[in-house]
Amino acid sequence: MTFEAALRAAGVSDRVAEAFARVPRHPFIPDRIWHRGRPVDRAADPDRWRRLVDTDDAVVTQVDDGAENGPGLPSSSSSAPSIMAAMLDALDVHPGQWVLEIGTGTGWNAALLCELVGDADRVTTVEVDPVLAERARGALEDAGYRTRVVTGDGAAGYPALAPYDRIIATCTVRDVPKAWLAQTRDGGLVVTPWSPQPSGPGGVLARLRVRGDTAEGRFVQGLSFMWLRAQRNRGGTPHDLNATADQIRPIEAGQDLLLDGTVVLPLMLMLPAWRFGMRRSPEGMVIWLSATDSPSWARVYEDRVEQGGPRRLWDELEQAHAWWDQRGRPGVEEFGLTVGARGHTVWLGSPDGPSWRHG
């Protein structure tokens, strides 16, 4: 089965599937990529390079923001084609519309947008990294797409050509920038990966309809993207995770709950102002919970939880899990998001259903 046929079988629209058939991936991928933390050079190992590029997986195209001798942290990639197709399907692009992309990356997604719009001049793409922007500009021109590649902070959008019918981001945000809403035509769409967690299990794809200064819509699916650079987690915790616990109590299902993505993603939506991560201890792995609005924390071991601070984070998580379980364990697609003057509000079922404020 061809990739185009596989997309159709997965429910992707014919127009999006046909765009992928017309625009191959490999002309947009740089000669050096990274796989499992190690570089793969096209000149040295062309067969392996091509195999990696031809898979339905993300391909890391930059590490450490391009710095030399860094720790090798991925900082740009070509997303998995099936995820890109789902995002473009959610964007519902029509010929002749004006589209703004946040996060050019390799330029491949911008080329697909040009195909869907039918006019490269109606697509603008913004990339914060000048090296990536220049490389993508060259790849797009070589492929015949003379679209507008802007070097700048994607959080600011590109007001010169606003309003846009569609805005799509290829990076995760915690705070949907007000500039995106202001630059979207009334009734237009903003499609972006979103997460209230500065660290943790990834995020969700939000499809938001803009009405005035408010954007609202359901989540499409769970996914994981690199962050908008201006909103990256800078690391660290707001308190001492080695502090003496105020409470210690036994638990039965602790770490398993937090390691199950189908469970922790909905819990992430229902629990504001917290994050979690993992570290090693003399007893093995410990998962930590950390409040972002107070010096509250929890350490989750295999058999017990230790908590401190004014909030009992593990208690809140257990209560949210029980509430979610009693309602039939709704998936992320049953939740939605409203962005407006009151910040970001997640809701279940409909905007007037159960809701949780996220700043």
Active-site positions read 79
Structure-token pair, residue 279: 């570290």
Cα distances (Å, whole numbers) of residue 358 to 175, 224, 228, 340: 9, 19, 18, 12
Q: Counting Cβ atoms within 10 Å, is residue 352 exposed (0-12), middle (13-18) or buried (19+)?
A: exposed
For residues 158, 174, 117, 139, the Cα torsion angle rounded to the nearest 10 degrees is 80
Is residue 210 within a helix (H) or strand (E), and if so which, with residue range? strand 203-211
Q: How far is C-alpha 178 from the chain's CA centre?
A: 18
Question: Is 76:64 a contact under the CB 8 Å cutoff?
Answer: no
How many Å apart are CA 52 and CA 26, to the nearest integer?
10
Q: Which helix (H) or strand (E) holds 221?
A: strand 214-223
Provide the b/e sequence for 234-255 (b: ≥16 CB within 10 Å).
eeebeeebeeeeeeeeeeeebb
In 3D, which of 101, 137, 105 has the Cα closest to residue 116?
Answer: 101
